[in-house]
Amino acid sequence: MTRLDVTAVGNALVDVIARADDAFLAEQHITKASYDMIDETQAHALYAVMGPGQEVSGGSAANTVACIASLGGTSGFIGRVRNDQLGDVFAHDIRAQGVEFATDAATQGPSTGRCMVLVSPDGERTMRTYLGIAPDITAADIDGTLIARSQVFYIEGYLWNAPETKQSLVMGIQVAHRTGNRAALTLSDTFCVNMYRDEFNELIDNHIDILFANEHEIMALTQSKDFDSAVAAMRGRCDIMALTRSEKGAVILAGDESFTVAAEHVTKVVDATGAGDAYAAGFLAGLTRGHAMAECGQMGAIAAAEVISHIGARPLVGLAGLVKARLG
């Protein structure tokens, strides 16, 4: 039985990335930097007015495991596509990156999910997701063997929605714990936190060992007015918490200890999509190799810096080489 560093479960999406200036967002009544779900009709309507795009495999947790592979780690992915062209693209890209992906493509139902990513001239991104078949994750998909083989079972908050999916995710966490592994969660977006605050709080307190959140999400979760209050409220609730603050770096809480790790210098933020996903990958790659907390944080920052320096949420160069050059 080959061991894996991380197996993740999340929405399997293809990103449709287009440039959009502030005037376009205003015309479309879209709040810059916001995230929202849209239905198929809305997706068609938005696509019809968007500029020329490029299609790149995405999905938050899928990006994370792709980055882990790029960091030289081993990873698996659970997520659903349709047997359509975008589904083929998703499956090809994640496997070509070296990730184990064995969830069957659906042969009926909605098409493969896609995320319309509108990238502003300043690199900020605004996302509208048509989930398609992606949320169709049931107990049968939570591959216990894959989870048992993995040091960390990683869940994206975006997937926390349908009752059957939630039960399946908790079942996956139980498998991880019974087989001596750990469970990680990313809060994903304030949108998710505001919708499922109580459930996320319960999940964190009773099931999660490693938590990822950005400052907006953790403030929303704890209903705090500032970041420091949120940190104080969270202390001790998970074994490890990595709380990211974009260019202000990140705060890592581990038991009684806390570490502040600076962000990596980036010449120009081209597209912020996937920054949090890459951070989680770098952090987990460090953690599963037994690195010290601060170094895990640095690895997260290095991975995030690469991903935001170009269009698309997955790395364009091998992250393992970057980490080696930076940390030795």
Judged by the rule CB under 8 A, the positions of this chain that interact with a second copy are 18-19, 47-48, 50-57, 66, 84-86, 89, 92-94, 96-97, 111, 312, 314, 316
Q: What's the rounded Cα separation, in Å, for the pair 230 and 235?
A: 9
Which residues are within 8 A (CB) of 95 and not within 5 positions of it... i.e. 6 or more apart?
A: 101
**Quick one: 119 or 183, whose CB is closer to a second copy?**
119
CA angle 309, 286, 205 (to 5 degrees): 100
Q: Which is nearer to a second copy, 230 or 303 (CB)?
A: 303
Q: What does the block give as tokens for 66?
A: 């792709």
Closest approach, Cβ 83 to a second copy, in A, equals: 12
Among 152, 59, 49, 54, residue whose Cα is nearest residue 97 = 59
Shortest spacing between CB 307 and a second copy, in angstroms: 13
Q: How many CA atoms lie within 13 A of 86 on its CB side?
A: 25
Judge whether 111 and 139 are in contact, CB under 8 Å. no
62 vs 185 by CB, closer to a second copy? 62
CA separation for the pair 274, 10 (Å, rounded):
14
Q: What is the DSSP letter of 21?
A: -
CB-nearer residue toward a second copy: 82 or 182: 82
Report, in Å, the least distance between residue 38 CB and a second copy: 16
Q: How far is the CB of 122 from a second copy (least distance, A)?
A: 15
Nearer to a second copy, 19 or 207 (CB): 19
**Closest Cα to residue 205, out of 189, 222, 220?**
222
Pairing label, strands 250-254, 240-244: antiparallel
> For residues 122 and 269, is the Cβ–Cβ distance under 8 A?
yes
Distance separating alpha carbons of residues 95 and 69, to the nearest angstrom: 10
Provide, rounded to whole angstroms, the least separation between the CB of residue 156 and a second copy. 20
Residue 113 neighbours by CB distance under 10 Å: 27
Query: How near is the Cβ of 106 to a second copy at its closest, in Å?
Result: 15
Q: How far apart (Å, rounded) are the C-alpha atoms in residues 271 and 159?
A: 23
Instruction: Name which of 144 and 318 has its Cβ closer to a second copy.
Output: 318
In whole angstroms, the minimum distance from the beta carbon of 55 to a second copy comes to 4
CB of 249 to a second copy, least distance (A): 29
Of 21 and 36, CB closest to a second copy = 21
Alpha helices by DSSP H, listed for 152-274, are: 163-178, 190-195, 197-206, 215-222, 227-234
Residues forming a β-bridge with 116: 16, 128
The 3-state DSSP composition of the chain as helix, strand, coil percent (nearest 5) reads 40, 20, 35
Please, which residue, 232 or 316, has the CB nearer to a second copy?
316
Nearer of residues 52 and 290 to a second copy, judged by Cβ: 52
Eight-class DSSP state of 265: P
Report, in Å, the least distance between residue 310 CB and a second copy. 9
